[in-house]
Amino acid sequence: MATRTIIPFGPQHPVLPEPIHLDLVLEDERVVEAIPSIGFIHRGLEKLVEKKDFLEMTYVAERICGICSFIHGQAYSQAIEGMMKIDVPERALYLRTIWGEMSRIHSHLLWLGLFADGFGFESLFMHSWRVREKLLDIIEETTGGRVIFGTAKIGGVRRDMDTFALNRIQGELKTIEKQCREITDVFKKDGSVQRRTKGVGNLSNKDAIALGAVGPTVRGSGVAIDMRKLGYAAYAKINWEPVVETGCDCYARCMVRCRELYQSFDMIYQAIAKIPEGPVDVKVTGNPSSEYFARVEQPRGEVIYYVKGNGSKNLERFRVRTPTFANIPPLVKMLGGCELADVPVIVLTIDPCISCTER
Amino acid sequence: MAQMKIAKVITRSVLSRPATRLYPFEKRPFFRNTRGSVSIEIDKCIFCGICQKKCPTAAITVVKASKDWQINRLRCIACNACVEACPKKCLAMENAYSPAVVKKGADDAFHQGDKSKAEATQA
Amino acid sequence: MMVHVEEQSLVTVDKSQLVEKATQMSKEGWRLVQISCTAKETYELTYTFDNNYKCSHIRVVLPKGDLSLPSITGAYFAAFTYENELQDLFGITVQGLALDFKGKFYKLSVKTPFAPKP
């Protein structure tokens, strides 16, 4: 009878970008089960609605997470606009799409670096982040901040990008795309990457649906669910299909994110070609007074925002359910039966953004 | 060979100059649009207090009676809300970050000098 | 100029019919999206489900005196994270949880911070 030991993984661990605690129950070197617990970075942001009015909550919503910051701001604006039935001008919708896809490229490049670091391939980590630096320069030039964009606003966007700026960033993005090809080729074909990721962290098609997985975690198991198909912002006018792989293991999820990188570049070029002229925001009058659910696709999956107003300037309830929260049950299932050395790779493959999870 | 796919990228980075910058000898140039720190042309200010109301972190203090305008640099998140809201357009967003401080609590204070006294000394 | 508003349906049920409705939705292929709670005079719980991009909600209202709820982990095992969060943040007791952390899921220094002060 093998002896069981319990090893605590996290909250401080060199491979984790953010603190999560997992109690791993081990038999020799095999993990039998994993017990998660969260709460190390709970800031109580949902309670701030009692103090800040609904226009100031945009600043709070943007700062829930550093990596997916613009899309949080966009989802909050969409939730309030849906509740108060505000018409957003078309140019603002296209600009939101362009910044949203740049945010997605930045997030996937960051994840590729962290994933390579997770199994010890440090030079690939450094090169992925070197490519990401050029993208952050473009973001700083157009929005003013490298990480927190500060451009999401209820009723539109706060800044404009004129045609000259759009054509220039299109040229720079083509250079970045060429550099990305060299990096993703390594992930696709290198023997050491494949040996560490193929066959690790299996999540079958039926389990992925039953456990409520979202984002690349579920698209790597053959299920095509992508919230951008709902048609918000300018996604209904651009040609694209969700990226699906059928491998069901860590390698398949890595390939989903690599292919989504190139899909995002293509979406930005299409949006720049089709963007119309016009104003970029509308004035917002009145107070929110009903409730609405808004669903948006973040780089990590589907995020759902619930806002409820009661006629005063402060919202009554503001609730965010982020994709990493929905991916915790699949993570617990994937960790059953794996080796101890595979635990960092599996935890990183769901792209954990714990500061989003705990708000 | 499937083992050394990254050889091309690594050889190129070994043979060319490093991707990092030797700060503080070589400083990074900021972009025109970078949100660094807020600056004020104090002579144009009418002390209406709109910037204080719009600030999401309560970093700005406006005292109309003594014509003082103060900003707490550590609380300011450079969100641009005050710059957009100012009716006299006397606030601007500089693209350089405010310098690091060693003590918390000291505000940056600006005071609008007495115009009538200046005219009397000139006349 | 367009307004993007999603078509969503909302149904209010009683606490006793909750498990039966959840089991029926699971058989029809609906995916659980989230469970959320608004705590003011009464506790309003909203269960959100999705099927092929269509969204539908079930609402359960709990009076302040009786804060207990049957668990839907029989139909949807993934609900254990949301129901543990309800226990830790709002003080609602969920009966029949498949994986019950008994208050230790969320490490907090203040117990039930989101429950309204009595």
ipTM, two decimals: 0.85
Average pLDDT along chain C: 79
Asked if residue B120 has pLDDT above 50, the reply is: no
Q: How confident is the model at residue B115 (pLDDT cuts 50, 70, 90)?
A: low
Q: Which residue has the tokens 């049950």?
A: A329
CATH assignment at residue A60: 1.10.645.10
CATH architecture designation of domain C8-95 = 2-Layer Sandwich (3.30)
User: In this prediction, what percent of chain A has a pLDDT beyond 70?
Assistant: 100
Question: Residue C74 pLDDT > 50, yes or no?
Answer: yes
Query: What pLDDT is stored for residue B61 in this prediction?
Result: 87
Q: What is the pLDDT of residue C4?
A: 57
- The pLDDT tens digits for B7-32 are 888 888 888 888 788 888 888 888 88
pLDDT reported for residue C5:
62
In this complex, which of A37, A42, A329 lies closest to C78 when CB atoms are compared? A329
Alpha-carbon span A356 to A63, nearest angstrom: 9
pLDDT mean over A315-332 = 87
Q: Tell me, what's the pLDDT at C115?
A: 72
- Name the β-bridge partners of A38: C106
| H-helix or E-strand spanning residue B88 | none
* Boundaries of domain holding A53: 44-324
From chain B, the residues in CB contact with A182 under 8 A are 8-9
Q: How confident is the model at residue C52 (pLDDT cuts 50, 70, 90)?
A: confident
B85 touches chain A (CB under 8 A): no
Count of domains observed in chain A: 1
Q: For residue B117, what pLDDT is reported?
A: 44
Looking at residue C60, what is its pLDDT?
85
List, for residues A160-208, the tens digit of each pLDDT value: 888 888 888 899 999 999 888 888 888 888 888 888 888 888 888 888 8
CA distance A65 to A63: 5
Residue C63: pLDDT band (50, 70, 90) is confident
In a domain, A32, yes or no: no
Residue A202 placed within a domain: yes
Taken in order of first residue, the domains within chain B and their CATH numbers are 29-98 (3.30.70.3270)
Does the residue A93 lie in any domain?
yes
Residue A27 lies in a domain: no
Q: What is the mean pLDDT of residues A235-249?
A: 86
**pLDDT at A129 exceeding the cut of 50:** yes
Q: Is the pLDDT of residue B118 over 50?
A: no
Q: Is residue A344 part of a domain?
A: no
Chains contacting chain A through 3 or more C-beta pairs under 8 A: B, C
Contact B2 A190 (CB under 8 A): yes
Given pLDDT bands bounded at 50, 70 and 90, which one contains residue A48? confident
Nearest CA in chain C to A281: C1
Contact B35 A145 (CB under 8 A): yes
| Chains with 3 or more CB pairs under 8 A to chain B | A
CA A248 – CA C66 distance, rounded (Å): 44
Structure tokens at A117: 């670091």
Interacting residues of A214 by C-beta distance below 8 A, sequence separation 6+: A225, A300, A301, A302, A323, A326, A327
**Residue A246 half-sphere exposure, CB side, CA atoms within 13 Å?**
0
Each residue of A53-66: pLDDT tens digit? 888 888 888 888 88
pLDDT band at A39 (very low <50, low <70, confident <90, very high): confident
User: CB-CB: which of A87, A212, A317 is closest to C32?
Assistant: A212
Distance from CA of B73 to the nearest CA of A (A): 17
Least confident of A209-213, A253-257, C31-35, C110-114: C110-114
Chains in touch with C (3+ beta-carbon pairs under 8 Å) read: A
pTM comes to: 0.89
Q: Any contact of A with B, at least 3 CB pairs below 8 A?
A: yes
Pick from A144, A234, A316, A348: nearest CA to C2: A234
Whether the predicted pLDDT of B1 surpasses 80: no
| Average pLDDT value for chain A | 86
Whether residue A130 lies inside any domain: the answer is yes
